[in-house]
């Protein structure tokens, strides 16, 4: 080992700790089905018998057959975390059982991070390259308490990782760490689970939905590799805030849905970064044209959260085939915010056990 490498190893403890990007977990997205994306992101009060509604699983308590949904999407635009990237394929399964109970399980991407930047912290100036993602999972059940009423209960979890490659461009006065010292932090968000409860009212002319997700706390494990000369490990806590979803769907005709929804979340905090609290307001519509074809459109806006002031327009369509035993859904999304825009295209396939 050279004298320079020995000096780096000796003063490793003098380096700054793990630093996530200032924006937290990067570009977030709600765990929505492709049908919901086409309707502006509304799902909490939208009757669903195929895929899991992660914002309110009680909306699917009327499912009468086992089915699996696969969803996939790609985005391009001014957000470097998602430009030219395809999302991790989302999957969900619905399994009806006796006694009016439906089992639900789902997995979807919640955020993606791809960012380069320079941080000045406590006298240290470091050039960072961050890459990572966070996923969202749900496991639970819904029960049909009456022909017009259902409830759901389950567990909502988050997990993921961030990799930070950093280089010291300047050190505080008195530090003997050489300029150009490189280190890599692998930060793993250990799974953290919270409870989720929901309710759904289903009538001929309107539907109501509501759900609550409790706060979740987990451990963030950090492994540091210092210029190939050694490794160190540490851990700290992180918090995923609770969420509330409220929705209303009107059905002025048997072939037409008009849906609205508000999603609220407290501020998100991870060591060194935070995302402010806020709300998402969504409105959507779906028209059933016959022959298994449905057309959809919607709008949503963000107040606070990860992209304050952004607006999203969406359109979509769906096609049920094989006698209603399978379906395809498509959605196109255009999101704009101060200084940027993004386009997205999404597709999903639902297949029942009898297809």
DSSP assignment of 47-99: --SSS--TT-GGGGTT--S-EEEEEEEEEEES-TTTTTEEPPPEEEEEEEETT
Query: 125 pLDDT band (50/70/90 cuts)?
Result: confident
Of 7-16, 140-149, 183-192, 216-225, the range with the lowest mean pLDDT is 7-16
Assigned token pair, 155: 């567990």
The pLDDT score that the predictor gives to residue 201 is 98
61 has a pLDDT exceeding 80: yes
350 Rama sector, left if φ>0, alpha if ψ -120 to 50, beta otherwise:
beta
Assigned token pair, 74: 């790609």
The pLDDT score that the predictor gives to residue 1 is 40
The pLDDT score that the predictor gives to residue 272 is 64
2 has a pLDDT exceeding 70: no
- Report the C-alpha gap between 168 and 157 in whole angstroms: 35
189 has a pLDDT exceeding 70: yes
Which residues lie closer than 8 Å to 146 by C-beta, 6 or more apart?
A: none
Query: 14 pLDDT band (50/70/90 cuts)?
Result: low
- Distance in Å from the first CA to the final CA of the chain: 64
- Mean of pLDDT values over 325-342: 96
216 has a pLDDT exceeding 60: yes
- Mean of pLDDT values over 184-208: 95
- Report the C-alpha gap between 169 and 221 in whole angstroms: 26
244 has a pLDDT exceeding 60: yes
Residue pointed to by tokens 């037409």: 256
214 has a pLDDT exceeding 60: yes
- Report the C-alpha gap between 355 and 123 in whole angstroms: 63
The pLDDT score that the predictor gives to residue 191 is 93
- Report the C-alpha gap between 5 and 155 in whole angstroms: 47
Higher pLDDT, 14 or 78: 78
């Amino acid at each position: 080992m050279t004298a320079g490498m020995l000096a780096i190893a000796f003063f490793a403890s003098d380096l700054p700790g793990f630093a996530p990007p200032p924006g937290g977990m990067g570009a977030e997205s709600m765990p929505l089905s492709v049908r919901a994306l086409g309707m502006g992101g509304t799902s909490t009060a939208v009757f669903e018998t195929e895929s899991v509604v992660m914002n309110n699983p009680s909306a699917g308590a009327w499912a009468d057959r086992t089915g699996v949904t696969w969803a996939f999407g790609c985005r391009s635009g001014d957000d470097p975390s998602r430009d030219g990237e395809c999302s991790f394929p989302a999957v969900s399964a619905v399994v009806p059982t006796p006694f009016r109970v439906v089992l639900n399980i789902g997995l979807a991407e919640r955020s993606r991070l791809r960012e380069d930047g320079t941080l000045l912290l406590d006298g240290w100036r470091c050039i960072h390259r961050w890459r990572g993602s966070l996923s969202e999972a749900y496991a639970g059940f819904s029960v049909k308490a009456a022909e017009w009423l259902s409830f759901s209960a389950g567990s909502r979890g988050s997990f993921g990782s961030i990799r930070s490659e950093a280089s010291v461009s300047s050190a505080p006065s008195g530090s003997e760490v050489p300029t150009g010292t490189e280190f890599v932090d692998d930060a793993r968000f250990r799974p953290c689970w919270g409870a989720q409860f929901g309710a759904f009212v289903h009538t001929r002319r309107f539907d109501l939905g509501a759900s609550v997700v409790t706060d979740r706390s987990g451990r963030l494990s950090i492994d540091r590799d210092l210029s190939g000369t050694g490794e160190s490990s540490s851990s700290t806590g992180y918090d995923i805030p609770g969420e509330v979803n409220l929705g209303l769907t009107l059905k002025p005709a048997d072939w037409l849905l008009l849906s609205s929804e508000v999603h609220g979340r407290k501020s998100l905090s991870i060591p060194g970064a935070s995302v402010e609290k806020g709300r998402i307001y969504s409105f959507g519509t779906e028209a059933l044209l016959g022959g298994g074809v449905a057309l959809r459109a919607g709008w949503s806006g963000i107040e606070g959260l990860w992209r304050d002031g952004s607006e999203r327009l969406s359109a979509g369509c769906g096609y049920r085939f094989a006698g209603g035993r399978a379906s395809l859904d498509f959605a196109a999304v255009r999101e704009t915010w101060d200084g940027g825009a993004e386009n997205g295209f999404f597709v999903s396939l639902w297949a029942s056990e009898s297809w």
